[in-house]
Amino acid sequence: MKIAVSADGPDLNAKVGFRFGTSKYFIIIDQDTMDFEAIANPGASTYQGSGVQAVVLVISKKIDTVLTGYCSPIAISHLTVNGIQVLSGVKGTVGEVARMYKKGKLQRQPGVESRLETGANKIERTLIHALKNSANQFIRLLPVLTGVVLLIGLFSSFMSKELLSSVFSGNIVTDTLLGACLGSIFAGNPINSYIIGGELLEYGISLFAVTALIISWVTVGIVQLPAEMAALGRRFALVRNTVSFALALVIAILTVAVIGV
């Protein structure tokens, strides 16, 4: 049984940290041996966010219970949905509250609130949560999918095989390159790349081009490039996209070659 206490300092004499997400440390205590370990909170320096980094830390340390002063509702829901109990409104020193918790006294303190998803309640909540999320994801996928299918329908009523083959000439190198370029420009759910690729195959476009399109659709993103630069750095984004573009060509050629063998 492992507990994590948000703390202002790295030992058992430190005061319990008021905010779960931004406390300086987490003291992780093994309830059986009372051994402890202090870990600096990776989210301590950030003033925004709702403590997601702290949540991730606690989950990765396989903690059973979190003791803290205050925990944001979002962090609580992330923790409890992963089976972790949260006690908020906890005051005192880390050592003190850990001993009280072990004896079962902490839970009865005025102002202390315990949250835990248990048994049937948990299953029901998780199920509803998953269903809601899935329906949401699925519904969000449909409008663009519908648009893509309608657009392909439109193309097929105007485009002839001859017209398309004037673009995709049948030359492996240029076709693969073209496929990868198309995939790099377009973005969004890869399901659309499968449908477009599948229809292109019907039109006699080579599997090289279609494979390059499918791979680069996800791995290279010209549309998302500014967002990727902003999040991960200009250099990283440029290097990663360039490397991925080259790899899309290689993967396309290898895949088709292996199938042909």
Partner 1 sequence: MSNKIPRKQSIMRIIYFPASVIAVYGIIFAFMPERAFLAIKSSGIIFSNIIIPLFLVFILIIVLNLFLKPTYIASFLGKEAGIKGIILSMTAGIISTGPIYVWYPILKELKEKGAGSSSIAVFLNSRAIKPFLLPIMISYFGCLYVAILTVFTITGSLVAGYIVGALMEKKT
Within positions 195 to 254, which residues make up the interface with partner 1, using CB under 8 A?
195, 197-199, 201, 207, 211, 214-215, 217-219, 221, 224, 227-228, 230-233, 235-236, 239-240, 243-244, 247-248, 250-251, 254
Can you state the percent helix, strand and coil of the chain, rounding each to 5? 60, 10, 30
Per CB under 8 A, 56 contacts partner 1: yes
Tell me, rounded to whole angstroms, the distance of Cα 121 from its chain centroid: 26
Nearest to 11 by CA among 46, 38, 44: 38
Alpha carbon distance 209, 206 (integer Å): 6
Residue 42's Cβ-side half-sphere holds a number of Cα atoms within 13 Å equal to 8
User: CB 92 → partner 1: shortest distance, Å?
Assistant: 28
CA dihedral 101, 103, 107, 110 (to 10 degrees): -100
Residue nearer to partner 1 on the CB measure, 92 or 145:
145
Please list every residue from 110 through 149 that binds partner 1, using CB under 8 A.
126-127, 129-131, 133-134, 137-138, 140, 143-144, 146-147, 149
Number of residues counted as binding partner 1 (CB under 8 A): 80
Q: How far is the CB of 95 from partner 1 (least distance, A)?
A: 27
Per DSSP, 90 falls in state: -
Select from 87-95, 104-112, 169-177, 184-192 the region that touches partner 1 (CB under 8 A): 184-192
> Closer to partner 1 at the Cβ: 86 or 100?
86
